[in-house]
Every structure is written in C-alpha cells, then in structure tokens.
Amino acid sequence: MIRRAILAALLLVAGAGVAVAAQPSPIILPKPTIPLNFSHASHAGKLQIKCLACHGGALKSIDSADVLLPRMEICVTCHNVKAPNPEKAFPKAACDTCHPGWKKQDPEDRPPVVVMPAPRLRFTHRAHGLLGIICTDCHEGIDKQTAPSKDGWGDHMPTMATCVRCHNGADAPSACTTCHLAEDDGRLITRFPEGRLAPIGRFHDDDHRDPAWSLRHGAPARDAAYCASCHTTASCLECHAGAEKPREIHPGNFLVLHARDALTQSADCLGCHEGGVGCQKCHEATGVTEAAAEGATGLTRASKQIHPPGWADLVPGPNHHGRVAETSMESCVSCHTEDECIRCHADQTLRINPHPPGFKGGTLQSRNDTSCKKCHPGGIPP
C-alpha cells in the first residue's frame, strides 16, 4: 500500500510540470478505425460511470495487443435496443446512436467494424493496476473527451513523456526494452510500415532529425550502452571504417568550399578520405590539378572550368576576381596561395596594381611593411 501511495503521488507531482503531446507516435500506436459515436464526458464525467464498468478486462490484460473496448453486450445493459421505440428511449438505443449513419436493413447486417492495430509496445495493464495506478493517471483528460478523434486517437492516450514519470530508473525500470519491442539480439525494432522509429531529442541530446546529426553525434555516442539499444558496432564502422562515406556528413555547398578545409585541416579529411584517393579522382576528372595544361591566355584549364567569364580580364567586370577577393577572400584561399597572386601583382612580374584609386599605403607600411614587401621587395615606388 505504501508503494502504491508513493507512485500515485509521483504521478500527480510529475504531471503538474510535464507537457504531454496531443498525439502519440503513429509508429508506436498505428492509426485505428473507430467508426463510433461515444462521449466519455457523458459517461465517465457527467454520469460518473467507473472505467472498469465498461473496460472490465483491463485489470486482467497482460498484452498491449488486447482489445479492451467494451463489446455490445456491455452497452445494451443501458441502451435497450429492444425497446418499442429505441430512438425515443432513455438512454437512446437506435443503431445510429453509436454507429453514425448506419441502420440495420437486414437481420444479418452488421455495423462497421472497429479495427485496433496492435501497439508496438510491451505493456501490461494488470501490473500497473496492481501498483495502484488508476486509469486517468495515464489516460489524462479521458473524462472530458466528447467523441473519438477523427485521427483515431484522442489526446488522452499516453505518450513517452507520461511513461517516464515513473520509468526513470529509480521508481520503475528505464531500459528501452522495458516497453519497446526488440530483436532477438536485444536491439530495438525500429523499422515499421509507418516509418522508422528514431529519437527526437526529448530525453537525451540525440535528435536524429537534426541536419547536423552526422557531424555532432560523437558526443552523445559516448553513452555507448544507450546507443547500443538500436545500433551495433558494425553500423558505426559502415561510416568510420568504410571506403565510401555518406555525403550528408558535410554541410551544404561543401563541394565549393571544401578546399579551404583541405588546406587547413587535412588530417581531419584523411580520417575518412584515406590517402586522398577520392580527391585525386575528382580533381582529375574536372581538370582542377596542378598538371592542367595552360592555354593561350595563361589561365589553366582548371581556372577556365571553375571561374566565370571575365574572371581574369585586364578590365575589371562584374565577374572579376578582384571583386571576390575584396569581399570573400576565404573562398579564394580555398584553392589559391599568396604566391599565385604575386605572379601578376608583384613589381618583378606584370605589375598589375591591385589597389583601388586613391590608395595610400604609407600608413600601412609604417605599421607593418611585411605584407608590402611581398610585392614591393625593393620598396614602394613613389
């Protein structure tokens, strides 16, 4: 009795601060078909009919697949379908009172059937009832429901947030397989016709929907036992030791900007791209290599391929590389080094002035002339 009281108190206290989602997961609780009119608000709320009066099988149920809706034999104890005028009886007992839009035309006619797919859970109503947990502790708001939800489930069905009030590892077991179905090897079954079951980050920092999850999963993965609920070491090695890596590990537009990381974080790149084999294959195919032949204009094949027209014209235009160098130098240094700039801009080469009109370099030179000397090793001309 003491344990029952403690659990009941925990449910009430925890329920005060936990927001329960309106709908349970359609993967865990597949959508049922309940072609009925029924008001819990009238029966359980207004008339104060006890839950077990209609759902008497709940205290004996040890399987989540048990259909605990009352059979018609229970309903007709109050709704007298054999009354002379069932439409005017109290309570009403005409067929369409409970079966909307249906009337019996033939003695063999049967109303539309209720279809209750088995939940993808392990659950025993009996065990919870023996602990003193009452129906509304889990089915909150059921006494206010006026009709079955159009989607099959109302907001009275418990979600995982409801369950973890007690299943916290202290008051009740918190292992995933306490409730979730598992394979023979102990891992959770995650693939179902309605979709794939995956964490959404509500209870751990493991939202698998996060676009950056493939990049940041390393920190949550330190809890190896938790990850092993669904994954095996082999699934980790598919990426971490495989020859082909999933592209989603990189952010969008990474193909354009990857050279910058390749220059500064090559060790990280080689962690997946062993020996740079993948790099070489792609660069050779696109001509972005040091061995690319130079054309008549002095631009390499690679430069012609990856830069727009007008990139290196003597007269600056909208696509001129100087404009990009002023606003987005980081995109330039993805592929180029400073030595390549000096080929054209230094005093000893073509002496193409990179400075804007009216540029005064005296102040810059007086502070730090190192950068100036790269193009003007003999000093800045007057």
Domains in the chain: how many in total? Answer: 4
Tell me: do 367 and 347 sit in the same domain: yes
331 and 294 in a single domain? The answer is: yes
Residues 167 and 55 reside in one and the same domain: yes
Residue numbers of the domain that contains 210? 198-240
Residue 6 lies in a domain: yes
Domain match, 5 and 145 both: yes
Torsion of CA 55, 61, 66, 71, to 10 degrees: -30
For residue 358, the 8-state DSSP code is: T
Residue among 233, 191, 198 nearest 213 (CA): 198
* Residue 174 within any structural domain of the chain: yes
Per-residue pLDDT of the chain (382 residues; tens, 9 = 90+): 333 333 333 333 333 333 334 467 889 999 898 899 999 999 999 999 999 999 999 999 999 999 999 999 999 999 999 899 988 999 999 999 999 989 888 888 899 999 999 999 999 999 999 999 999 999 998 999 998 877 667 778 898 889 999 999 999 999 899 999 999 989 999 999 989 999 988 888 999 988 888 878 888 888 888 899 999 888 888 877 766 667 667 777 777 778 777 767 777 777 667 655 567 677 767 666 655 444 434 445 445 556 777 888 878 888 888 888 887 777 677 677 788 888 888 888 888 888 888 887 777 777 778 878 888 887 776 6
Query: Is 246 within a domain?
Result: no
Q: Is residue 255 part of a domain?
A: no
- CA 41, 42, 46, 50 torsion-angle sign: negative
Residues 300 and 338 in one domain: yes
Whether 102 and 122 map to the same domain: the answer is no
Cβ atoms 152, 33 nearer than 8 A: yes
- Are 284 and 179 within one domain? no
Do 277 and 149 share a structural domain? no
CA distances (Å), origin 204, targets 198, 220, 250, 381: 12, 8, 23, 64
Cβ(7)–Cβ(133) below 8 Å: yes
Q: Are residues 368 and 298 in the same domain?
A: yes
- Residue 208 forms part of a structural domain: yes
The encoded tokens of residue 327 equal 């606003």
Residue whose structure tokens are 């801009």: 345
Burial class (CB in 10 A: 0-12, 13-18, 19+), 193: exposed
Distance CA 85, CA 81 (A): 9
Q: Is residue 245 part of a domain?
A: no
User: Which of the listed residues 113, 145, 177 is the one where a domain comes to its end?
Assistant: 113
Within-domain flag for 7? yes
Kindly report the pTM of this predicted structure: 0.60
Asked, for residue 99, whether it belongs to a domain, the answer is yes
Q: 91 and 215 share a domain?
A: no
- In 123-155, which positions are buried (b, 16+ CB within 10 angstroms) versus exposed (e)? bebbebbeeebebebbbbebbebeebbeebbbb
